[in-house]
Structure 1
Amino acid sequence: MPAKLSVNLNAVAMLRNRRDLPWPSVADLGRIALKAGAHGLTVHPRPDQRHIRFSDLPVLRALIDDEFPSAEFNIEGYPSEDFLQLCEKTEPEQVTLVPDDPSQATSDHGFDFRAQGDMLKPIVARLKAGGMRVSLFADGDGDGEAVKLAKATGADRIELYTGPYGGCYDAPEKAKVMLDLLGRTADAAHAEGLGVNAGHDLTVANLPALARRLPHLAEVSIGHGLTADALEFGMAETVRRFRRACGEQV
């Protein structure tokens, strides 16, 4: 089954926030994406609200509940107490925990499960008790032992950090090496019974090879590349292009 596409709306929100105006509308662009067949929406509400604002969350929750009840809401972020309470209030279908400092421009590494596994266990349990699926951001470096430690936290899935792979857009041989490492990590996760998501710098060009190498890939969360393409092709057609890149017949 092809990986499902979750559209990350952070870049849309960042563009909106350049002015004290309500456009582009995060909800309206999310609606267009879901109408075009996206499986869900992803947001990363950072403490400084530099892109997604806390006030966007109930609006997007209502959009999915009222108009697209089969879609999923995925909220990602560092597991501070404020973030956990935000998730418990919004009740997304999935929470993706990331290890990055709130001041970072974007997520750029996975958890160190050897050092942070014990910290994550009660957090994962708390979110799952609230009915949320939990995914943990993980490096795609082929480390099978780290995958076992991720499984030990009680998480449902890992999300492979695909930034190094996406960064090889002009280096095809290096891309093959990065893809092999991602594949080995995904294989280890599948063997442990963990679901596998992926995200960061994925594009229409590099998704097909990833989908072929990771046949059990459950979901891809894509924002920057998808939003860039939407400026050229429009949101609806861009969603269809990315769905086709994941292997869907659209």
Structure 2
Amino acid sequence: MPTELSVNLNAVAMLRNRRDLPWPSVTGMGRIALEAGAHGLTVHPRPDQRHIRFSDLADLRQLIDAEFPDAEFNIEGYPSAEFLALIEPIRPEQVTLVPDDPRQATSDHGWNFAEQGEQLKPIVERLKGRGARVSLFADADAAQMPAAAATGADRIELYTGPYGGTFDDPEAAAREVQRLGLAADAAVAEGLGVNAGHDLTVANLPALVRRIPDLAEVSIGHGLIADALEHGMAGTVRRFLEACGHAG
């Protein structure tokens, strides 16, 4: 099956928040993305609400439930008590847990499962008990996948930032794709599904999808929203879907 596309709306929200005005509309841009064929929407609500606001969550849940019942809502975040209390009433189809410090500009590393796996187990169990699929942000480290699987999570999301950083170095890009592929192979061998995200683009997605045929989903924000400035949201979603292996 082709890799599914979840559109991360954080950059849209960050632009909106520059003014005390309701545009660009986070739900409006989400609607355009889903109408164009995106399989879901992703947000990462941070404690300071510097991009996605807590109030956006219910609005996006309503959008999906009312207009796109087959789409998925993926909420990312560090599993603090406050985060869990915030998202559980929203009933996301997927929760992606990241090891971020709240002060970080963006996610830039995966969990150390050998050291943090026991901390994650009860949180994974809690979220799965509420009907969510649980994905854990992971570095491209095949050796960590047995410990990742031991948490009880459904999937890992491979951190692809180092791969995105090789945009001007084809040899380095090939090495990063292989590292990601080996980590994905190890995850699949442990019974985990595989997602990926961070600095993915129309240009670098095809090689990743070829190397990881079991890649279930990519979550893309910065590169997709940057392209949308040139191609529009609907046209950009279609471009990314084609890069993911969907027929044009």
- Give the TM-score of the pair, scaled to structure 2: 0.99
Give the distance between the partners of 2:2 and 2:207, measured in 1 at CA.
12
The SS at the match of 1:96 is: strand
1:168 corresponds in structure 2 to 166
The one-letter code of the counterpart of 2:225 is T
Deviation per CA, 1:131-151, whole angstroms, max 9, x where unpaired? 00000000013x33x101000
Aligned position for 1:224: 222
Q: CA deviation at 1:5?
A: 0.1
Aligned match of 2:40? 40
Q: Provide Cα deviations, 1:124-167, integer angstroms capped at 9, x if missing partner.
A: 000000000000000013x33x1010000000000000000000
Shift of 1:86: 1.3
What letter corresponds to residue 236 of structure 1 in structure 2?
A: A
SS of residue in 2 equivalent to 1:55: helix
* SS of residue matched to 2:117: helix
2:239 is matched with which residue?
241
Match of 1:215 in 2: 213
The alignment partner of 2:14 has SS state of helix
Whole-Å Cα distance in 2 between the matches of residues 192 and 86 of structure 1?
A: 31
Alpha-carbon distance in 1 for matches of 2:21, 2:213: 43
User: Is 2:11 aligned against 1:14?
Assistant: no
Give 1:48 deviation, angstroms. 0.1
Q: Which residue of 2 aligns with 1:132?
A: 132
The CA RMSD measured in Å over matched residues stands at: 0.5
| Cα deviation digits, residues 55-111 of structure 1 (max 9, x gap) | 000000000000000000000000000101112111100000000101100000000
Aligned-residue identity in percent: 75
| Equivalent in the alignment of 1:30 | 30
Matched residue type, 1:56: D
2:107 corresponds to:
107
Task: Give unmatched runs, 5+ long, in structure 2.
Answer: none
CA distance in 1, matches of 2:136, 2:86: 17
Deviation at 1:201, TM superposition (A): 0.1
Separation (CA, whole Å) in 1 of partners of 2:87 and 2:192: 22
Give the ranges of 4+ consecutive aligned residues of structure 1 lying more than 3 Å apart after TM superposition: none
2:185 partner amino acid? D
Match of 2:192 among 188, 191, 194: 194
Q: Which residue of structure 2 lines up, in the alignment, with residue 69 of structure 1?
A: 69
Q: Distance in 1 between matches of 2:154 and 2:103?
A: 27
Stretch of structure 1 that moved more, 62-71 or 86-95:
86-95
Aligned to 1:80: 80
Partner Cα separation in structure 2 for residue 29 and residue 92 of structure 1: 19
Cα drift, residue 237 of structure 1: 0.3
1:149 lines up with 2:171 in the alignment: no
Q: Show structure 1 runs of 5+ residues with no match.
A: none
Q: What one-letter code is carried by the residue in structure 2 that aligns with 1:159? A: E
2 CA distance for matches of 1:235 and 1:124? 33
How many equivalent residue pairs? 248
Which residue type is aligned with residue 27 of structure 1? T
In structure 2, C-alpha distance between the alignment counterparts of 1:88 and 1:21, rounded to whole Å:
28
The superposition leaves residues 109-130 of structure 1 with CA deviations (integer Å, 9 ceiling, x where unpaired) of 0000011000000000000000
Q: Normalising to structure 1: TM-score of the pair?
A: 0.99
